[in-house]
Structure 1
C-alpha cells in the first residue's frame, strides 16, 4: 500500500487522515535511546500518512513531533495556554516542529481531554502522572491505545493498572517495543475493527458500558452492553428485537447479518 494512503480512514465517506496522539513524559533529561525511539515513532506516524497530535510539551512528545516534522508529516499541538505568549513563557512549552498550535486556555490537566478527544488513536510513551491521566481518559472513552513498551514510566505497569480497574469500556490495547510494528498494528486494527466502535457521545442518553442492572442487551456488532431504552436503533428479525448502540452498527449488521450472532 502506498505509504501516503495508509493513514486514511477505512470508514466509507471519510477521507480525513487519521490523527494519532502521542502522550508521554514531558520531563527534560530523557535518555538518548528513549528520545530516539520517540522520534522514530513520530517518523512512522508521518510515513503512514497520519497526523501527529501532542500536548505541545517538551520531552518525549516533542521528540515525536520532531520525528514527524523531519519526514514531512503534519503535527498539531494542543497547548495548555491561552496564547503563544502563555504557551512559551508561562508553560515554558515549545513551538518548534508543530504546524498548528491550538490554544485551549485549560491548563496542563484540562488540555488532556482535548488531546485524547482530538485523537483517533492514542500512543503512550514513557510518562508519569500526567500521562496516566491521559491513559485513563483514553481508556474510559474506549479509544484504541498503543503502548510503546521499553520506554519506561507507566508503560511498564499499564497491564496491572487496567487489570486493577476491572472495567470494560470497549478500549483496545496493543503493546509493542518497535515503533513501526506498533503503528502498523494500530492502523490495521482501526481500519478493520475499531473504527466501528462508537464514540461515547454518539447517543442522546448515557450508554451503560458494563453489564449491570440496566445493561441487559448487547449490540452484536461492537459488543457493547446497553440499556434497551438507550439503544441508538433497533431491528426486528423473526420476532427477535436486536439492539444497536448507533446507526453505524446497524448498517454494518444489515450489510453482513450472517457474521453476527443475535442469540
Structure 2
C-alpha cells in the first residue's frame, strides 16, 4: 500500500508557502506517496500541481458536497459536504501530516493531527505555537525546507 501524506495549508498563502507546497508535492510524487489535501486553492493547489508535474496521485478532500471550485490537478476528489469538519478527514488519512504556512483552518488541522497521535506532524513556516512558559510546543517537528520536512516525517529513513 502506498504511503499517504496529508499536506495542510491556507488558501490565502505567501509566495514562499506556494513554492514550498509545490516542491513538497513534487518530492512526494517522486517517492511514490499519495498526497492528501483540501483540494481547493493556495497551498492545496500548489501541492497538487507539484505532485501532478511528477506524475503523482493527489486526493482532494472537499468541504462542499460537490466538486465546484476543486483545483484541476487533483487525481481524485471526495466531496464530503461536511464543511470544515473535513479537516479531520484530511489529517486522519495520512501516515504523516505536513503543515505549510498558517491560518485558522491550518491551525485546526495542526491541532487535530497532534490530537490524533501516532503520526509525525511537521511544520514548514507558519505560526509558532508556544506553551504557557512561551516555549515552542513539544511534539511538532519544524523544518526549514521541503526536503527537510519530508526527512522529518521519518517515513523514508
Larger RCO, structure (CA 8 Å, separation 6 or more): 2
CA offset at residue 148 of structure 1?
1.0
Within the alignment, does 1:73 sit opposite 2:42 as a pair? no
TM superposition score normalised by structure 2: 0.88
Within the alignment, does 1:129 sit opposite 2:104 as a pair? yes
CA offset at residue 94 of structure 1?
2.6
Instruction: Look at both structures and tell me which one has the larger radius of gyration over its CA atoms.
Output: 1
Stretches of structure 2 that go unaligned for 5 or more consecutive residues are 133-137
The answer to whether the 8 Å contact 1:25/1:126 transfers is: yes
Give runs of ≥4 in structure 1 deviating > 2 Å. 30-34, 189-192
Secondary structure, aligned partner of 1:124: strand
Query: What does the per-residue CA deviation read over 1:224-263, in whole Å, with 9 as the maximum and x for residues that have no partner?
Result: xxxxxxxxxxxxxxxxxxxxxxxxxxxxxxxxxxxxxxxx
Hey, what does 2:135 align to over in structure 1?
A: none
Secondary structure, aligned partner of 1:78: strand
Q: How many residues align?
A: 152
Alignment partners' CA distance in 1, 2:92 and 2:15: 30
Alignment partners' CA distance in 2, 1:183 and 1:127: 18
Alignment partners' CA distance in 1, 2:106 and 2:148: 22
Within the alignment, does 1:182 sit opposite 2:149 as a pair? yes
Query: What does the per-residue CA deviation read over 1:154-175, in whole Å, with 9 as the maximum and x for residues that have no partner?
Result: 2xx13x1xx34xxxxxx94221
Within the alignment, does 1:110 sit opposite 2:85 as a pair? yes
Hey, what does 1:17 align to over in structure 2?
A: 2
Secondary structure, aligned partner of 1:102: strand
